[in-house]
Amino acid sequence: MATREELAVIKAARAGESRAQLALGSRYLYGGTGLPRSNGTAFYWLKRAAQQGVDDAWMMIGRNISYEQVKDLSSPREAAIWYEKAFDAGITHAGLTFARLVLDNTEQFDSNSHARAIGALSFLASKDDHQAQWLLAQQMQMHGHDEDDDDDAIEKNLKSILHDGAFKLEERLITEAAHAGIEQAQYALLDKAWKKSDYAGFARDAVVLVEKLFARNSVAVAQIEKDADVTSGIFLSSEESTLLLRFAQWRLQAQKPDPIEIGHILELAALAGNTEAQFELGLLCAKIDRQGNRVFMEHGLANFKKALNWLTLAGDGGSALAWHALARIYSRSIYSQRNLDVALQYLEKAADMGLVEAQYEFAQISWRNRRDDKLNDVRALYWWQKAAEKGNENAKAALEAFSAGSNLKTWAKDAMEHLNNKFRNANPFLSARVELAATFGLTKPEALLIDVKNADYGHCLVVDICGYYARSKRRLVAIETEEQRTILNRIGRLFSDVDCSFNGLEGNYRQRQYRLKTSFPEIA
């Protein structure tokens, strides 16, 4: 309960007396005999005193109230004023809070404020403030290397204070901050080492952090080691789970890797929801590598039940490689529940997600089984095209047989030279069939008998006239260019409401042949 003296201070502060507001803010900041300690209430009264020109108020704000506290107590624009004043008055760590208020809320500040914030960070970094070094390095990572972006105000301010060798400066700042114990900087340094393939440096610095993560999650780790269901909570950020994944991947490259120890590392990351760790753990449990080869055979039998569980989780999380691995497992006799239909379903999932190897493999299987399903050849051509678009040379070679350019018929090209507007208006269907033949290399029987509206499958033209012409053979022609697509769309619209059978307007095969011969006697 507040004393009489404190009640008098409260009354005066509410009446607007600046010194009473300062005193009340101070008491709430440090706690008094009858008042509780409250940074929120302290900031409220100190801010009111500062607004009335009491210098000690904003000095107290800058000295005692951190960024984590003030960001929830005031608008960034309002709070930044007091922290900048405190920094200018010599309270160095207030400059860090000022810079964070500005740079974390850039849209609320002008370019001059951005420049002052970067300047404060640069000054503090030069004075070996490791938190400032890390924040400045972050700003350089986000804004400092894009020379083409002239609209970024922070980038302009970075360029104005940084000289040549910005990349080296950034790396030095991160390194110093990391060595000083700034954990975020340590993770950034490890990320750089991994991306530069400096695996020795990565492993050296990662060991300590991995041990910390294991200690923090010791209960879960103990359950993993006992191969029991993990009921304890896993406390890992995405950066931390990525570190565990990479550490495990590095350990897998050792001369004699220990799959049990590596499995524990991967399982901790996998339980935290890391999709790639789930995939790697699934492979490890199945004792196969990414190419499907058997590994770690000397360490006992594969645990397919566990492997399928982790690979399915990884697949649901967006890993095409996981679906591909599942397809391999289900297609092999080493797995007791071999199921080729399920394998094909998983392979198609991987292909749908853009995995080139799966696309080519699915195309090959579909082509081999084209007699089992009428549309398997259409599917095969589609996935060959998808794989070829991503540079698969085998798919490109397979597509050559379906190219219109490899089967162009001179008769249709000769007929096209004799087509004119008068003939097109008088014989629109015959004209369209001749143009279709010239575009896709159709023979005369194919051109006259193809069911245009049912032949278009988007990525290819299915030429199948076996029902009318016994000597023909079903074949596919790939649609390779925009011009081919445009011509087919136009001809498709013409035939959209037309019966292309012998009961339709064009008559039977003899009638169509006769019309072609009489219209183009020079190609007969």
Above 50 in pLDDT, residue 164? Answer: no
Tell me: pLDDT of 173 over 90. no
pLDDT band at 118 (very low <50, low <70, confident <90, very high): confident
pLDDT digits (tens, 9 = 90+) for 328-363: 999 988 777 789 999 999 999 999 999 999 999 999
User: 358: closest CA among 314, 319, 313?
Assistant: 319
Q: Which of 439, 359, 454, 365 is nearest to 403 (CA)?
A: 439
Look over the chain and give the mean of its residue pLDDT values, rounded to a whole number.
88
Phi-psi region at 292: left, alpha or beta (left = phi > 0; alpha = psi -120 to 50): left
Contact 93, 67 (CB under 8 A): no
| CA distance linking residue 479 with residue 476, whole number of Å | 10
Does 147 have pLDDT greater than 60?
A: no
pLDDT by residue (tens digit) across 200-223? 999 998 999 999 999 999 999 999
Q: Which of 15-19, 291-295, 392-396, 496-500 has maximum average pLDDT?
A: 392-396
- The pTM of this model reads 0.76
Summarize pLDDT for 289-313 with one digit per residue, the tens.
998 889 998 888 889 999 999 999 9
Beta bridge partners of 476: 462
The two tokens of residue 7 are 């009640």
Between strands 460-463 and 475-478, the pairing is: antiparallel
Mean pLDDT of 53-65: 90
Provide mean pLDDT across the span 485-501. Answer: 92
Sign of the torsion formed by the C-alpha atoms of 408, 411, 414 and 420: negative
* Cα 349 versus chain centre, distance: 17
